[in-house]
A and B are shown apart, each in its own frame.
Chain A
Amino acid sequence: MSATGLGASVKRTEDIRFITGKGRYVDDINRPGQAHAYFLRSQHAHATINAIDFAEAAGSPGVVAIFTGQDIAADKVGGLICGWMIHSKDGSPMKAGAHPALAQGKVRYVGDAVAVVIADSYAKARDAAEKINVDYGVLPAVTDLKKAVGAANIHEAAPDNTCYNWHLGDKAATDAAFAKAAHVTKLDLVNNRLIPNAMEPRAAVGDYDSGTDTMTLYTTSQNPHVARLVLSAFIGLAPEHKLRVVAPDVGGGFGSKIFIYAEETICAWAAKKIDRPVKWTADRSEAFLSDAHGRDHATHAELAMDAQGKVTGVRVHTLANMGSYLSTFASSVPTYLYAPLLSGQYNIPAIYAEVDAIYTTTAPVDAYRGAGRPEATFVIERLMELAARETGRDPAEFRRQNFVTTFPHQTPVIMAYDVGDYAGALDKALIHADYKGVAARKAASAAKGKLRGVGFSAFIEACGIAPSAAVGSLGAGVGLWESAEVRVNPIGTVEILTGSHSHGQGHETTFAQLVSDRLGIPLENVAIVHGDTDKVQMGMGTYGSRSGAVGMSAISKALDKVVAKAKKVAGHVLEASEHDIEFKDGKFTVKGTDKAIDFGSVALQAYIAHKFNGQELEPGLKESAFWDPTNFTFPAGVHICEVEIDPETGIVNVERYTAVDDFGKLINPMIVHGQVHGGIAQGIGQALMEGAQYNSDGQLLTASYMDYCMPRADSVPSFNVDTIETVCPSNPLGIKGCGEAGAIASPPAVINAITDALGHEDIAMPATPAAVWKAAQKRPMKHAAE
């Protein structure tokens, strides 16, 4: 392994601009003559709009224009769509109500955009918006998932506020497994609603060039090409060749910047309307209200086992809160990103899941780091832990007994696991976590009047969110391949154009490592170009831990083509058959001779084109590739959390956190570990402190950092992170993906640890000090009394 090649913890090259304040985020972009947009948002969760009076606002200083839903309707601006079709059990298609970018006739959540004020400055736009008078006819709000069916109808198109009643698996076989079970474990679980909170708020600058009739949108997007496709083909702002979408440096996404939102759409549309650039940057309060939220499931789950401790069936019924509108990929999250993972790492013969997707008058809910897979992992890992406890089994050994051990393994819920070593990860995690020492540490805590507990989470996820044909058969509206182009310059430097997008993942370094490794050129000779639809032809973007497994595989495929072409050129230069040319460490040699030429010289020869016949071999050195994998990838691992609870205060201290993950081949272990750290912290946030709360009127009570508790440096420990490796067979690099694992695995590990410490199961996420204090008073303190 070279110092910069595959597997090396190379320091990130992109860091230099970020640590010196030279990053270029959307809000750092200013276009000449730009105006600023302020969105007037509904304060009501559910209301008809009877009239909007903006006469006084229009005369306010600096105001350029005010637009409402009527204006976008008149311009035939299409509604915001959901790109994944789900069918209900009865075969009927999901019921998606219309979602105009500015409300038309009705508002459906607090924060729904009602009008946009465009003015010379943001402050003037906001001042003017205060003068707009909206006459609302207030309707009943419904925020409680369990009360939404039968409550006031939110979308005419969706009776009973139900989007779909979906199911997966063999009901009869599963019911039969339960009928024969020696033991059944039952749990009611809430997967709390989260607000993503990438530190950079969403932002957009729309810019229209009337001379060329082209529109440019600078936006905080994880997938600028998908944004262009939707804005063009569905919303109808401009044809694709007249629409450029640029996502420059983006300050974190976690899913929330996948989606096509109202504000970005309006900035692009309005820029053309007023023939002036239009800029908008969300403030944090707006982000809380209007970014797509995550999770929000209520689940009843059951696990059946035989007398020997073999799990024989899992049965799940989930209510999934979609919020008020169906966001871009929302329908896929509680269905195909969820139920197919309910088999966990286990060989379970029968699984049946029912999911009811319900509308409420709350912000739309869509993919958030892990998207469906954390919800599935929470269900199966809480069930496994409780089943072990109820039957007096060691939670580690009970898991081991049920692990899938032969591959490929077809689960009863779609997925075909390709490769893994679940026991290998468990063994390593048990050592790192000093599992043998737990009893002594529990006793030591008890002696201080504290409660100590240990919780496991053996997670699996399906990543890459491809192959295209497979996701197409499940309802996806797009293919989920990735593209790459390798442009070799005449002096041998290389530009890689990728459809993946980096918003913290370090692609400029890891992708360059692959190129450096393959072409034998130094890292500094490689530039990674992404995030601009004018430069990169097409791409599907970054989410679902897909940039390594799918994005880099496309680069690898294009590099193969470059090397093949370069060998032909080298053959001509070295006067040998291309079949006798070998390429290694940046040098082309003729087999068995000392004739050699380096990569840069071959590149030059390819462009000079003197040594070969241009009719037989095309000049130049530039290749592109699209990569569509043959399967999802299946990262998996074992996380062990150890907590100490102070029953006097309810404060939970995460004392140790151990993660042993199998991500397949690692390109840059430093970056992989960083991804895991961040994911674990988000999962600990979900388990202990984060939770979006609406009151019964539909007001978001947790709409700032004063009310929504984010993990701070002193709320998490340092983590003990390690990996094992089984090589992924479905892509040329053997990569599985690592971006979501931490957030998927950690919530059940933390809650299993807390319930172990408490000696009972009666605690929900987030396990805040108040909730834990109450729970600690409630029952005899098992461990303390031991």
Chain B
Amino acid sequence: MVQVSMTVNGKAVSAHVEPRTLLVQFIREHLRLTGTHVGCDTSQCGACVVHIDGKAVKSCTTLAASCEGAQITTIEGLAHGGKLHPMQQAFQDNHGLQCGYCTPGMIMTAVDMVNRKGHQLDEATIRHELEGNICRCTGYHNIVKSVAQGAREMGGAK
């Protein structure tokens, strides 16, 4: 067993875990934050994306022990003061989700995309950047619209 300590959604947490514990297992099973999902075992679907120190990372391919001291944000930590994050709101506004299983990972990826690429994202950029996130329900049409709106509104545009 190893000791891990990190900050998750602003709260300090620590636990003894098996060294092989993945970050996603730590988040889901130890912290019971079940918004982060697991959709594959080959690091391709993106259902598990969280932010580690502000960057989008697939938590299914990250060992919890490697996150010692890190700042983690999960989908549960995105809304503040009872107000949805603009990217969350954009997904609802544009019907960017159906079953909701891919959605937390999509939103976390999208926020990171905006942080890296800015607020004016064209369709080709959004589609390319979503390479690592699979959705089986929406055909991506409305996800693309959601990300574009979320990006604009994260920049303060309405």
Residue from B128, B131, B139 with most neighbouring chain A CB atoms (10 Å):
B139
Q: How far is the CB of A509 from chain B (nearest CB, A)?
A: 10
Smallest CB gap from A679: residue in B: B139
Q: Is B142 in contact with chain A by the CB < 8 A criterion?
A: yes
- What distance in Å separates the Cβ of B23 from its nearest Cβ neighbour in chain A? 15
Mark B142-158 against chain A: 1 for CB-CB distance below 8 A, else 0: 11100000000000000
- Given the interface pairs A20-B76, A252-B98, A678-B137, the reply to whether A705 lies near B127 with Cβ below 8 Å is no
B36 and A682 contact, CB distance less than 8 A: no
B95 on interface, CB distance cutoff 8 Å: yes
- Is the contact region of chain A dominated by helix, strand, or loop, or is it mixed? loop
CA distance A678 to B102 in the complex (A): 13
Contacting A at CB under 8 A, from B16-74, are 18, 20, 28, 32-42, 44-45, 47, 74
Nearest Cβ distance between residue B85 and chain A, in whole angstroms?
A: 9
**Residues on B with beta carbons closer than 8 Å to the beta carbon of A3:** none
Cβ–Cβ < 8 Å partners of A671 in chain B: 95
B125: min CB distance to chain A, Å: 10
B99 & A713 in contact (Cβ 8 Å cutoff): no
Q: Check A504/B42 contact, CB under 8 A, given A123-B20, A199-B47.
A: no
Query: Are B45 and A705 in contact, with the CB atoms below 8 A?
Result: yes
What's the Cα separation between A705 and B92 when bound, in Å? 28
C-alpha gap A704/B43 in the complex (Å): 10
A629 vs B124: C-alpha distance in the bound complex, in angstroms? 45
Whether B134 lies near A252 (C-beta < 8 A) is no
Decide yes or no whether A254 CB sits under 8 A from chain B. yes
Identify which of B134, B142, B144 contacts A705 (C-beta below 8 A).
B134
Bound CA span A716–B126, Å: 12
Are A714 and B131 in contact, CB atoms less than 8 angstroms apart?
A: yes
A681-B140, A713-B140, A718-B141 given as contacts; is B100 within 8 A of A18 (CB)?
yes
B107 at interface, CB cutoff 8 A: yes
Q: Of B36, B79, B95, which contacts A670 at CB under 8 A?
A: B95
User: Which of B34, B47, B131, B136 has a CB less than 8 Å from the CB of A678?
Assistant: B136
> Are the CB atoms of B92 and A15 closer together than 8 Å?
yes
Judge if A244 is at the interface, Cβ distance under 8 Å. no
**What residues of A have a CB within 8 angstroms of the CB of B37 in the complex?**
25, 199-200, 251
Among the listed B44, B131, B137, which residue makes an inter-chain contact with A713, where contact means beta carbons less than 8 Å apart?
B131
The CA-CA distance from A506 to B100 in the complex, in Å, is: 10
For residue A505, CB closer than 8 A to chain B, the reply is yes
- Kindly list chain B residues whose C-beta atoms are within 8 Å of the C-beta of A20: 35, 75-76, 78-79, 84, 88
User: Given A252, A285, A677, A712, which contacts B141 in the complex, CB threshold below 8 Å?
Assistant: A677
Asked if A713 contacts B144 (CB within 8 A), the reply is yes
Instruction: Kindly provide the distance from the CB of B82 to the nearest chain A CB, expressed in whole angstroms.
Output: 11
Q: Is A471 an interface residue when CB atoms closer than 8 A count as contact?
A: no
Instruction: Name, among B35, B88, B136, the residue most crowded by chain A CB atoms within 10 Å (CB to CB).
Output: B136
Contact in complex: A199, B97 (CB < 8 Å): no
- The CA of A712 and the CA of B127, in the complex, are separated in Å by 8
A681:B20 contact, CB within 8 angstroms? no
Q: B98 near A712 (CB under 8 angstroms)? A: no
Q: Are A19 and B107 in contact (CB under 8 A)?
A: yes
Within 8 A of B (CB), among A297-336: none
The reply to whether A680 and B95 contact each other, CB–CB distance below 8 Å, is no
Q: Flag if A252 contacts B95 (CB, 8 Å).
A: no
Chain A: CB-nearest residue to B141: A677
**A 1-39 binary contact with B (CB < 8 Å = 1; else 0):** 000000000011011111111111101101000000000
Give the docked Cα–Cα distance between A670 and B96 (Å): 11
A25 near B101 with CB under 8 A, answer: yes
How far apart are the CA atoms of A23 and B37 in the complex, in Å? 10
The answer to whether A200 and B36 have CB atoms under 8 Å apart is no
- Closest 10 pairs (CB-CB, A-B): A21-B35, A18-B100, A251-B101, A681-B139, A504-B99, A504-B98, A21-B75, A677-B139, A28-B34, A713-B130
Q: Beyond A15-B92, A704-B44, A716-B141, list 18 extra A-B contacts (CB 8 Å).
A: A18-B97, A18-B100, A19-B97, A20-B79, A21-B35, A123-B18, A198-B136, A199-B37, A199-B45, A199-B137, A250-B99, A251-B99, A254-B136, A675-B98, A681-B138, A704-B40, A712-B134, A713-B131
**Residues of chain B at the chain A interface (Cβ within 8 Å):** 18, 20, 28, 32-42, 44-45, 47, 74-76, 78-79, 84, 88, 91-93, 95, 97-104, 107, 123-124, 126-128, 130-131, 133-144
